[in-house]
Amino acid sequence: MPESASCSASPCAIEMPSSLSMLLVRHGHTAWSRSGRYQGRSDLPLLPEGRAQASQLGQRLKGRGVSHVFASPLLRAAQTAQIIAEVLGLGVPILDTRLAEIAYGQWEGLTQAEIRRRWPDQLRQWKRFPDGAAAPGGESLGELRERLNHFLTEPPWSAPMEGTVLLVSHLGPIRLALLQAARQPLSMFRQLPVPIASVHRLMLCCEANNFRLSTTSQEQESCALQ
């Protein structure tokens, strides 16, 4: 990870601690994730397997200081968040549309093989140059970045937060947040693995009236200004 960053910053919209610990969680399995179909904004529930994964996540997150849970309103994320909150003995998760998955338009519900037969050029562009492509009728990475940054600079809480905030979201927003924290370009979007039911720790910092997103490891912390 880079040890320093030179980027523009976004102003702090609210009073908050100098840094806030966040855990980003990808939802559990659905029928479409199991069959390799693009989900996007399509609203599928968790499989029994996905509900078990959410329960296991809750057990794994015990003792991590989670105080609040926020989630995408899409059913697979909202159900994952609710199960985790119940295991942790927390209140009902707060849903926020800015955490929703990137929209894949006409590709939703299709496998990659089916998309390749119908849109070979567009799929090739998406796989090679994701920062300059989008599914037909779908959302671009630039648009996803805009709403994710809006969540980070104008979060749904209005008072200083204590403890760790849990965000249950999707492959796209989590990948993008990790890329920004690691100071990597959007062109690297498809190269970053974010498995189903995975957990990723980030820090949201507020210094000199500016937000920055950082990712930590046991050895070092590297920050990228928003």
- Catalytic residue positions, numbered: 27, 101
Strands (E), 123-209: 164-169, 199-207
At 9, which amino acid appears? A
Residue 220 region by backbone torsions, left for phi larger than 0, else alpha for psi between -120 and 50, else beta: beta
Q: Quick one: DSSP state of residue 127?
A: H
DSSP track, 64-109: S-EEEEEE-SSHHHHHHHHHHHHHHT--PPEE-GGGSPPP-GGGTT
> Which among 212, 207, 214, 218 is positioned nearest to 24, based on CA atoms?
214
Cα angle: 104, vertex 197, 160; to 5 degrees? 90
Looking up tokens 């890329």 gives 179
